[in-house]
Structure 1
């Protein structure tokens, strides 16, 4: 960052990020070399980390306030998948020289907005100058009762599979940003873009799943890919009926206009909904848990003994995907 756009690293921290640490005593107003966290009695700490790089996970001209919020929310989604209560986070930034004070103010403002909403606090981090593009990193800490964390490895043959919210909106949002959905209504394109830029972590639902779900995973790489991750970890398989997939009205309209978009809905990433495996006998309680968290929940299939993920179309034929989902390398 140029001299007129920033002061020292410590000045940057004091101006934009120290105010985000006031609630957590162990953050020490970001004035120490490290922070301290004491878990609540009877709880264990759940830790997750996600990184976002310009040109890979977001566009260079994406609004900074939405970048801050998305960075936090994708980590909160990981905590939700394990049933954890959000507690605190660390922030890392590699900032290009041209980063302005206006950008930093908007970015920190987005974090502040979601901190309050999700009851989580900044407790530390690091900032460096980048000779390349913008890179953001966040490590989130949550808490869950000892031994109660949900795992992706607990799915059992015979379990029902459920999905929260709606699927495919974020993947369609990326297509809209790239100018590949010009045939659909502008209002629907705007909705898809908002879902891509600002996912909704299912934090309360995740907490409510403790004692009900056998396994859970957040859908970040795409339904097909993340279901495969769950099945691999659980040494099981799965069968999904695409006619049961929960779709938004906008996605349903887009799919009606172009059936080929179904592959994007099945394999597109950035949904950050929860995929849940649970015994059939707890179905009613799961629906109640979802209702209590103001979240829609849909049964989409089942766990099988036969390995592999089978996707069954509305005509009863199996759908074969050339690409099951996002890959990081």
Structure 2
């Protein structure tokens, strides 16, 4: 099967690849054409996922298709952007029709869930690797960034933490668990729902935001550095799921929440007066606050600063 036949059969024919809305011209030409409403900016993000590093190989290709797009669209949610389109660059060791069919179905299912259209991309032979670029739109001046946190802001997260990191021994088949515990953890690893509605709700309210991909402490360090503030995280206030607590125990669950990564939950700073209205419509938890200073500081139940064993994933760390 040639490259163009592969694209035509598995991707161009997908429901998510049909032109419409802001995608004026999709797969088939040298470039896609996007149209944005007046007064809106284009938000762009690119993610690369490498087999054996970002996901186990082999794995279920349907779940991989879902996960690959979900983690990319999460970046749009973190900016308060509405999804428009995405591109996919796919490196494959072989054009296996069964694998491609399942992967394309997973990709299309997540695309339709997120309301985003496949605009094009590239395929090539090589080690299994996926690079997705996502495009969104946001009104001028309303994009959420990492650089606006102020002393006195609350530090919040948009849901429970640590489930994906807790699921990793199950994903790698190093451990087993009762389905009642395993299924919700595995679902969060393979199909983390991008928090698009929360991102939109944070426009004009949050002072800084990002999505947690490499661990709460590590990612909050980006907000602290960009905003020029110190962030204080109260360990005992971290929201943990019953499944994670039952599977991993409290201490391990806290480790997963603080530094495990792959949550794709939004972390953001918020003036205290905005909290009540936001909590009325979203699963928002206060986990700390911002002060003058630098860095991220972890506190125990008595308010004493403690050291965290793992602060987050670093791709080229020692």
Q: Which residue among 265, 269, 285 is the counterpart of 2:257?
A: 265
1:1-12 to 2 correspondences below 5 Å? 7-12=1-6
- CA 1:319 to 1:185, structure 2 compared with 1: closer, same or farther past 3 Å? farther
Q: Which residue among 233, 246, 251 is the counterpart of 2:226?
A: 233
Indicate the residue corresponding to 1:114 in structure 2: 110
Indicate the residue corresponding to 2:65 in structure 1: 68
Q: Which residue among 276, 287, 294 is the counterpart of 2:279?
A: 287
CA offset digits 1:99-138 (Å, max 9, x no partner): 41011111111111122221110011011110xx300010
Deviation at 1:266, TM superposition (A): 0.6
- CA 1:178 to 1:68, structure 2 compared with 1: closer, same or farther past 3 Å? closer
Look up the SS of the partner of 1:153 in the other structure. coil
Distance 1:10 1:200 in 2: 31
CA offset digits 1:265-291 (Å, max 9, x no partner): 210010000001011111112223xx1
Q: Which residue among 300, 305, 314 is the counterpart of 1:318?
A: 305
Deviation at 1:316, TM superposition (A): 3.8
Indicate the residue corresponding to 2:42 in structure 1: 45
Distance 1:143 1:80 in 2: 11
Indicate the residue corresponding to 1:208 in structure 2: 201
Deviation at 1:243, TM superposition (A): 1.4
1:156-235 to 2 correspondences below 5 Å? 156-179=150-173, 181-182=175-176, 185-235=178-228
Indicate the residue corresponding to 1:4 in structure 2: none
| 2:120 paired with 1:128 | no
- CA 1:314 to 1:176, structure 2 compared with 1: closer, same or farther past 3 Å? farther
Q: Which runs of 4+ in 1 moved over 6 A?
A: none
Deviation at 1:259, TM superposition (A): 2.1
Deviation at 1:186, TM superposition (A): 4.4
Distance 1:235 1:36 in 2: 38
Deviation at 1:226, TM superposition (A): 0.4
Question: Please, which runs of 5 or more residues in structure 2 have no aligned partner?
Answer: none
Deviation at 1:296, TM superposition (A): 1.1
Distance 1:254 1:279 in 2: 35
Look up the SS of the partner of 1:30 in the other structure. coil
Distance 1:60 1:96 in 2: 12
> Structure 2 length normalisation: TM-score?
0.93
The total of aligned residue pairs comes to 313
Distance 1:213 1:276 in 2: 6
Q: Is the 8 A contact 2:19 2:25 kept in 1?
A: no
